Structure 1
Amino acid sequence: MDNRPIGVMDSGVGGLTVAKVLHERYPDEGIVFLGDSKRNPYGERSREEIGRFAGEIKEFLLSKNVKMIIIACNTISFNVPPSFTEGPVPVVKMSLDIDLPGETKKLGIFATPASIRTHAHKNYLEKKFPHVELVEVPCDGVAAAIEQGKEENFISSLVLEAAKEYHALGIDAGYWACTHYPLAPEAFRKALPGVPFIDPALPTVEKGMDILKASDALAGEKGTSHFYFTDELTHAAPLVQRLFGPVTVEKTNLLGV
């Protein structure tokens, strides 16, 4: 067993959707979460910037003596170099291995522009589901709007605008390829009524926990959780406490912030 916490990293509050699944499925595991809310959104940044910022978050989490790091952010997961996951502490990227509802003929992949540019989701899914039409939908401003706590109607209008522009109005299912998006499910449902959306948080968590199970590194006693953000906590703290209860939420600094 290993009672050290699990590190969870994101560009802001979106990664809380993955941390929540981790907390629900493995309640004994302590969590150290860091969201770089000051520099959010990452989705419109260059790959070089994303990699540099992600490296600073990783170093922060390693300084907290974590036993594993989950990258709870698609933009980071698919824009960092392969060397990012190297080292004695396992680093787990967002899972691409999802299941689709039956009879899905057209799938919309909703993600930040930076994630879409990598085509990671499309390249993986077109091999797994060769008979499904895949539509990539870069959602400009949606993650930022969720991060800032904008109204549901505003977020929905952004989603609908992107869906129209990239011909996703006729999809049978949608894939939330950004961890911010499950925080605003009604906005997506309002824009695309009747469309089921897939959240990869659970397969991501299980991918990481399989690594810990294989090395007998699950927690043997209940751990504590700490949540850190690089910007003011006006929006983040109430969200964390709504999802996780009375836990510690603090503002912290990174090298470039």
Structure 2
Amino acid sequence: MRLGAIATYPVKSCRRLEHGRATVHRWGLDGDRRWMVTDGTGRMLTQREEPRMTQIRPEIVGGALVLRAEGAGELRVPAQPADLEPITIWRTTVPLSRVGEEADVWLSAVLERKVRLYYLDDPTRRPINPDYSTPDDRVSLADGYPLLLANSASLAALNDWLAEESPNEGPLPMTRFRPNAVVDGAAPWAEDEWLGRRVRIGAVTFRVPKPCDRCVITTTDQETGARGREPLRTLARHRNVNQGLLFGVNLIPDGRGEIAVGDEVAVLD
């Protein structure tokens, strides 16, 4: 098995960045999900409610965040701490730095609604669900875990189902699932057997605490923002486990290191 692709998402729910290599921290990949958009009341905003977030293209340039969108030019946002405000992310409240009025105005114009931009200046601030982690584990602004790993053979199997059952909406690209790491050379759904074990990518080891339960974001075309019914309808037929529609597995790094496309992937324990 080999690592086939690496991606980060600097702003939660916005466009991806693809990489040949990446630094792994205990909280996730370098630069991954350090910024987050909220609505005008400070509530977390994602593609679940706002698929137009797919049209915001972030990039990290010289340590700063650069945002681009068609017709809006670009905005440069420094990565620096500022006044902290308590923001609720699912069931936890995390102090985040308010980026500022210029970023809020730019994003509000792109999304045609009042929004705010926040920065996680200290990525060691947010703990992981203690049911699946140790007290020292941390996560950035990802939904719950530092990395998401997907299996290219599982996507091929899903696309085979789509070809038979929903041909008008397939095949789907891996970008629909927004993984950080994609493994090539495994059997379809091999990742189901990795739960509770460790995997090694290059020289970095990761725990596999739980599978990933998929949401409506997977029905959103990551290039256009258009939304359909798949893959959730087909996952509901074939990958429904305790009302969770499963695709991919979450990872928690054991330490810091670097991973690169082409690295060997091995299952340990």
Q: Of the two structures, which has the highest relative contact order with CA contacts closer than 8 Å and spacing of 6 or more?
A: 1
TM-score by structure 1 length? 0.25
**Going by fraction, where is helix more abundant, 1 or 2?**
1
- Relative to its length, the structure with more strand (as a share) is 2
